[in-house]
A and B are shown apart, each in its own frame.
Chain A
C-alpha cells in the first residue's frame, strides 16, 4: 500500500501554473528522486506535501489520510530538511534538537538526541552554538533534526548540495540504510544527477510543472538508450524544446 499518494495535484500562483495534474505514489522504504530543470516545480511539489503551500486542486493522502484534514497527525510522522532552511544560530546543537524533540513529542529525548547527533557526527559539538558550524555541518544538523522523530516519510530539498564529497556519500549511505532497514520513504530533489541515479529507486522527471516521465533509473535509461541520468536530462530537454 502506498504511504504517500498524490492525485491530480495542480498549483497556480496568480497567472503562473507551477504544477499541473501531478499524480504519483511512494511506498514504504522507497526513495523517490524529483528531477527537472529550474522552475520545473520540484520545490513547489516538495512544499505542497507537508502543507507549506495549499494546492489549487488535487489531493494528497499520507498514511491513508487526507492531508488537509489530518495535517498535525500526519506531520508528526514526517519530517523535512532543506538546503535553504536553517536552525537558530544562537542555540547550541543540543538545544536545537531539544526544541524539536519537544515539538514532535519524542520519548526519551536525551537518548534520541544523542543518537541522531552521533549519526551525523555532531555529538562532540553538541554544546557549541549552531553559529560556529560550517554550512556542511549546518546541513547535517538539519538532517539530524529531520530524523529526530523517527519519521516514516522524509522530504529533502537539495539536502546534500552543501556537503563535502565524503559527508555527502556518508549521508547517502545513511539515507539508503534507513530506507532499507526501517522502511523510511524518502522524497527528495537534487541537481546532482549522479547522486540521484545512485540513490533513487524511482525518478520523477518534472518539466514545466508536469511529470514528463517516471520510473526506476534503469528503466528510464533503457527506454531512452542513454547511460546516465545526465544524458537523459539533456536528451529530454532538447526533445521538449
Chain B
C-alpha cells in the first residue's frame, strides 16, 4: 500500500467538492430534510401518545445514526461513480494504483463524508429538538463505528456490482442501503418483526446497533453484547465485500469490462 496513491484518490474527490456547490449542498440537504420532516412528525405523534416515553429521542437518534450508514455507503459507491461519469476510470486503472489502494481511497472519502454529515445532523438535532446525540456517551463511538463499517461493506459490494454491470447498476448506489432499512430495526425494535424477519435482522449489524442505541437512551446498561455481535458480523461482511470486489475486478479484467464502462 502506497499512501501517495491513496491520497491521490482522496484528493481527486476533495477537489470535486471544493468546486461543486451542488455536491456540497447535497451533503447538507438530505440530512436537513430528513430531520425536519421526520423530527417534527415525531413530535406531533408524541403529543398524541404517552405510551412511548423516549419516542422523540429514539427517532432522532435513529435518523442521525442511519445517516452515518447511508453516507459511508455513498461515500464509497458514488465516488466510484464520479470516476465513471467523468470517463476517468481507465486513467486510474492504467496507473500504478492497486485495487486495494483504490478501495482504501474510497473508504477514506466515505469516512470524511460521514464525519461532515454527522456534524450537520447532530448539530441540527440539538438545535431543533434539543436532542444531544452525545448523551449516548462513550457508547456512541462503537455504535457509530459499526455503522460506518457496515456502510463501507455495503458500499464496496455495491461498487463491485456497478463495476460488473456498468451505469445500468448505478441506481444501486442509492437503493441498496435502503434495502436494509426495514429489517435493521432503525425506527422500531426487532421484536415487532415477524419471526422469519427477526432471524434475518440478527444477521444485520445495524439491527444490533439500533437495539443498542434504544437500550442506552432508555437508561439501560451499555449494550456490550449488541456491540460485539455487530462487530463480529461487520468483520465478516467487510472481508466478504473486499473479496467480492476483487473477484469482480478479476472478472472485469478477463471480460474486458473496464474499457467498456470507463470510456
Contact = CB atoms under 8 A, between A and B. Distances in A.
Interface of A: 11, 13, 18, 43-44, 47, 50-54, 71-73, 75-76, 78-80, 82, 84-92, 95, 98-100, 102-105, 129, 142, 145, 155
B90 interface: yes
A88 B8 contact: no
Given A72-B98, A88-B16, A91-B19, A103 B8 contact: yes
B94 A87 contact: no
Interface in B1-42: 2, 4-5, 7-9, 11-12, 15-16, 19-20
Contacts of A102: 4-5, 7-8, 11
Interface string B226-250: 0000000000000000000000001
Nearest to B2: A105
B243 to A, nearest CB: 18
A99 B8 contact: yes
Contacts, number: 107
A91 B91 CA distance: 15
A104 B254 contact: no
A187 to B, nearest CB: 13
Looking at chain A's contact residues, is the secondary structure mostly helix, strand, loop, or mixed? mixed
A105 B4 contact: yes
A52 B91 contact: no
A66 B256 CA distance: 20
B97 A85 contact: no
Most buried by A among B19, B92, B255: B19
B93 interface: yes
Contacts of B258: 52-53
Contacts of A142: 91
B2 A54 contact: no
Nearest to A51: B253
Contacts of B83: 88
A52 B96 contact: no
Given A73-B96, A103-B4, 7 more contacts: A43-B259, A85-B90, A99-B8, A99-B15, A100-B8, A102-B8, A155-B94
A13 B251 CA distance: 12
Which has the most chain A C-beta neighbours within 10 Å: B7, B94, B250, B255?
B94
Contact of A82 (B12, B93, B256, B263): B263
B263 A84 contact: yes
Nearest to B83: A88
B11 A98 contact: yes
Interface string B82-103: 1100111011111111100000
For the complex of A and B, 10 pairs with smallest distance between CB atoms: A102-B8, A103-B8, A86-B87, A84-B263, A76-B96, A80-B94, A54-B253, A88-B86, A75-B96, A50-B94
A85 B4 contact: no
A52 B8 contact: no
B262 interface: yes
A155 B91 CA distance: 12
B8 A13 contact: no
Contacts of A82: 90, 263
A52 B87 contact: no
Contacts of A43: 259
A216 to B, nearest CB: 28
A104 B96 contact: yes
Contacts of B93: 52
B15 A52 contact: no
B256 A103 contact: no
> Which of A50, A51, A86, A87 has the most chain B CB atoms closer than 10 A to its own CB?
A86
A51 to B, nearest CB: 7
Nearest to A80: B94
A100 B91 contact: yes
A171 to B, nearest CB: 18
Contact of B91 (A18, A80, A90, A129): A80
B250 to A, nearest CB: 8
A90 B19 contact: yes
B258 to A, nearest CB: 5
Contacts of A78: 94
Interface in B51-105: 82-83, 86-88, 90-98
Contacts of A13: 255-256
A50 B4 CA distance: 20
A44 B263 CA distance: 13
B79 to A, nearest CB: 12
B128 to A, nearest CB: 33
Contacts of B263: 82, 84-85
14 contacts: A52-B94, A54-B254, A76-B96, A78-B94, A80-B90, A88-B12, A88-B83, A90-B20, A91-B16, A92-B19, A100-B91, A104-B95, A105-B96, A145-B91
